[in-house]
Structure 1
């Protein structure tokens, strides 16, 4: 098999109806987790792999199974990241209007009963207790590789908490220390969660290996998450930490051994596991890890079997759902004359430049950035995608470095920042820039050109002060064709009503 990571051993949670009802349930297995590991110490690798898989798959038994009571197709973690990060922002829109999806794609009328907010919240609080269970057992274990598995579980728990901090701003701090607590846990503030994740990552960083199997975390994956946490610290806790972000993203760049892929598009194809640029992927496989919530959602969602040669993109199904807006492809200028390779990754035939009606399939251009065929080759079309999702890439690290320098981080070099940005641009045959061109205005646009549809956009717009208010408008922002101002409290999503009902210690975010 191309990738062997998903080893399911029945390690599922008992009684998690919404993951908000009980964060402390014991894992339901034929043996206790302690006995399981004593009986077969090698089972630890399967358990850890299952934790990694929780970010991409819906459940242990194929695309129709779900670890939680939410819809198996709609609720996977990665699908939630795309919905809440990309469709709520400027570059991408969805036309289906499924019971709450309209609220995301028009950035309007958000409320605590929207199922898509609940999906991500529940996935976060499914992954965290899974990690807590394993960590608790490993803390008392002397089996081989226990320390590495424990550090990996702590990383994955921190990654889940990062999305809680970013999307909802608060929750409960569930760890192995309070596992089994019968009373509802107290609410933890955004700063408390930030400090916890920061401490966890700093502690495990030294224990992580410098190399790892594909799809597993290593020291530089931890550094990248730390850099992301620090890059957004001014938003999260009101204290800028750009110098700290620069320190850790520099480690990724200088020590990680990653290199920009020669071809931009090769980072988003069925054989992207060969990319030298991807720092940390969420793995997909069309046979062994089928899901409606991994890159299948992105690839199939941007295709139409009626108007596009979907087999050319390695797909056997097209869902006619997602299209880019001019807020993305307009950044390249005239697409017919642009030399930027990234500008060619839109399907324009039969589609209108302006998105007059976001529910009309032919308004806006579908993004063909992600595809299921191998790069530069023909492949057998499949229903499910085998393209891995590059959660972290070197080009992102380069742009993060440049942003930290422009924001005044200590220890950085403006000339090196320009070099990094030009490495990203020349790889795509875009013109180079000079130091005078490297501004925050330029960088937020370059991040869109390079990283849209990769789960960063809403966070980026908030950090640059462009998400709420009316200073920057995009198609259908605030549910109007040309965009309108949206309120400041939209920088956070509402805490799902189901979670508040399950824990009286949780208070709703202001404005909802």
Structure 2
């Protein structure tokens, strides 16, 4: 008797899942074999794959108020919203003033504990996506359908991406695959090294077989290469062993073989027409009508706006949430006052709203302390667009300028197959695109690269990881406003390089142990 694999019907959703505490299992609503599903709808596989991608962009299958995971606010359970919360709010980049339960702990990088709901929501989101991929891979294993090898590779990539964020944020977890999917006994704890090895093996296996080109918003060879490069860039943090040469191998593939180009218009990369940008390698899709979410770029656009001090329609928004502002650690890289920012030729310096706001952030709860970021907007790059409540601007999860700056960092770290002359050229390509002055070889240092990554990539969900890799996140060698819970900043202990494992995860699986210091 053929084994039956259960697939959910209804808005191309793979399963209803209450939280990561339910043994990493899913419970489908409608039960069909994949053959039956394909017989009734030959395009069903594409729909199911799209739903896996949507797990990184949306919160649930039924509009912005729906959620795949248990969340008091559906929008808070979104992957991208969590990335911004955990990467940018916890670092020198952005601060939030709402004071939601647990959000103050992120903004001030202090008093982290296992009951913070934002840690749980990110853990739950990852361990929602992983079983969906496992379930789908089991189903694909028994059916024949067009483009099978590529769809399997895409699914394995999405699973690896979810696991990558687990090892980056929590350092460990459980290793759930299609081989142990549905196992009733709690899975054993997997160390950071074990998860690293698994992700590496998965990506290396699919890299030669996934297509080199793909539809917009789907993974291809060079999307896999970017994730491999990110994994190896941070290998010393994750495993204790640097892998700079391996990182350079895959960064070079992206740069030399991917066919991507720097966008001549920096603003377009963060506007509603960024689907036409030649720079975007892998986007998380957003659409103001059919893919509404409080957790995609809506969170970034609306969160940085307020009708109290800003003209919302200028940025294509119908709502301003009066939430996020940058600190001088970010915009101070362009000048020491609002006047110096206004006088700068660097396009990136102009992407802050200074009118009615203070350069110093004496109180992160005060909206007018700090400059909101207008880097992301919901207008097209030419400024056209009617104000709407939900963003239609895709999030450029991977883009070429990041690869250029990664190459320069690798050259400085002595990676093979890199050169300092190419590194300077790549950095200058990034800078001159934004009308910033070119640098010379003597200017190119690791500290410069860290600052340039802030100027170029901040509010793109990478800052915490960058600071940890440069050994600037914990301790007191680098201080930013409200680090450690003080206005001028203070040192924090090394245990903050990892977040605490959520209490709900440990309660559900006694094999999990808490990270040190929590």
- The residue number in structure 2 matching 1:169 is 171
| Equivalent-residue separation in structure 1 for 2:364 and 2:492 (angstroms) | 18
Does 2:32 match 1:45? no
Say whether the 8 Å CA contact 2:14–2:136 is kept in structure 1: no
- The residue number in structure 2 matching 1:20 is 21
| Equivalent-residue separation in structure 2 for 1:27 and 1:201 (angstroms) | 28
| Equivalent-residue separation in structure 2 for 1:38 and 1:109 (angstroms) | 54
Displacement of 1:30: 4.5
Say whether the 8 Å CA contact 2:405–2:453 is kept in structure 1: yes
Displacement of 1:447: 0.1
Does 2:453 match 1:452? no
- The residue number in structure 2 matching 1:471 is 477
Among candidates 186, 190, 193, match of residue 191 of structure 1: 193
Among candidates 420, 423, 427, match of residue 417 of structure 1: 423
Tell me, what secondary structure is at the counterpart of 1:157?
helix
Report Cα offsets for 1:182-219 as digits up to 9, x if no partner: 10000000000000000000000011111100000000
Cα 1:285/1:352, change in 2 over 3 Å: same
Among candidates 406, 409, 417, match of residue 403 of structure 1: 409
- The residue number in structure 2 matching 1:3 is none
- The residue number in structure 1 matching 2:244 is 242
Say whether the 8 Å CA contact 2:26–2:132 is kept in structure 1: no
Displacement of 1:11: 2.0
- The residue number in structure 1 matching 2:86 is 84
| Equivalent-residue separation in structure 2 for 1:495 and 1:184 (angstroms) | 16
Does 2:486 match 1:485? no
Report Cα offsets for 1:284-329 as digits up to 9, x if no partner: 0000100000000000000001221100100000000000000000
| Equivalent-residue separation in structure 1 for 2:60 and 2:89 (angstroms) | 24
| Equivalent-residue separation in structure 2 for 1:390 and 1:503 (angstroms) | 35
- The residue number in structure 1 matching 2:348 is 342
Does 2:510 match 1:504? yes
- The residue number in structure 1 matching 2:363 is 357
Say whether the 8 Å CA contact 2:237–2:469 is kept in structure 1: yes
Of stretches 488-497 and 375-384 in structure 1, the one that deviates more from structure 2 is 375-384
| Equivalent-residue separation in structure 2 for 1:8 and 1:476 (angstroms) | 46
Tell me, what secondary structure is at the counterpart of 2:133?
helix
Displacement of 1:91: 1.2
- The residue number in structure 2 matching 1:313 is 315
Of stretches 408-417 and 342-351 in structure 1, the one that deviates more from structure 2 is 408-417
Displacement of 1:511: 0.4
Say whether the 8 Å CA contact 2:12–2:48 is kept in structure 1: no
Say whether the 8 Å CA contact 1:8–1:50 is kept in structure 2: no
Cα 1:139/1:284, change in 2 over 3 Å: same
- The residue number in structure 2 matching 1:283 is 285
TM-score w.r.t. the length of structure 2 is: 0.96
Displacement of 1:411: 1.4
Of stretches 488-497 and 34-43 in structure 1, the one that deviates more from structure 2 is 34-43
Among candidates 122, 137, 146, match of residue 124 of structure 2: 122
Say whether the 8 Å CA contact 2:169–2:499 is kept in structure 1: yes
Displacement of 1:144: 1.3
Tell me, what secondary structure is at the counterpart of 2:396?
strand
Number of equivalences:
505
Cα 1:153/1:160, change in 2 over 3 Å: same
Displacement of 1:336: 2.8
TM superposition outliers: structure 1 runs of 4+ over 6 Å:
none
Say whether the 8 Å CA contact 2:12–2:47 is kept in structure 1: no
- The residue number in structure 2 matching 1:61 is 62
| Equivalent-residue separation in structure 2 for 1:249 and 1:179 (angstroms) | 33
Among candidates 144, 150, 153, match of residue 151 of structure 1: 153
Say whether the 8 Å CA contact 2:217–2:282 is kept in structure 1: yes
| Equivalent-residue separation in structure 1 for 2:233 and 2:461 (angstroms) | 15
Displacement of 1:440: 0.4
Say whether the 8 Å CA contact 2:301–2:378 is kept in structure 1: yes
Cα 1:160/1:34, change in 2 over 3 Å: farther
| Equivalent-residue separation in structure 2 for 1:8 and 1:57 (angstroms) | 16
- The residue number in structure 1 matching 2:74 is 72
Tell me, what secondary structure is at the counterpart of 2:360?
coil
Displacement of 1:13: 2.3
- The residue number in structure 2 matching 1:390 is 396
Say whether the 8 Å CA contact 1:26–1:133 is kept in structure 2: no
Displacement of 1:38: 4.4
Say whether the 8 Å CA contact 1:302–1:318 is kept in structure 2: yes
In angstroms, what is the RMSD of aligned CA positions? 1.1
Tell me, what secondary structure is at the counterpart of 2:196?
helix
For structure 2, the residue ranges without an aligned partner over 5 or more in a row are 1-8
Displacement of 1:147: 1.4
Displacement of 1:499: 0.3
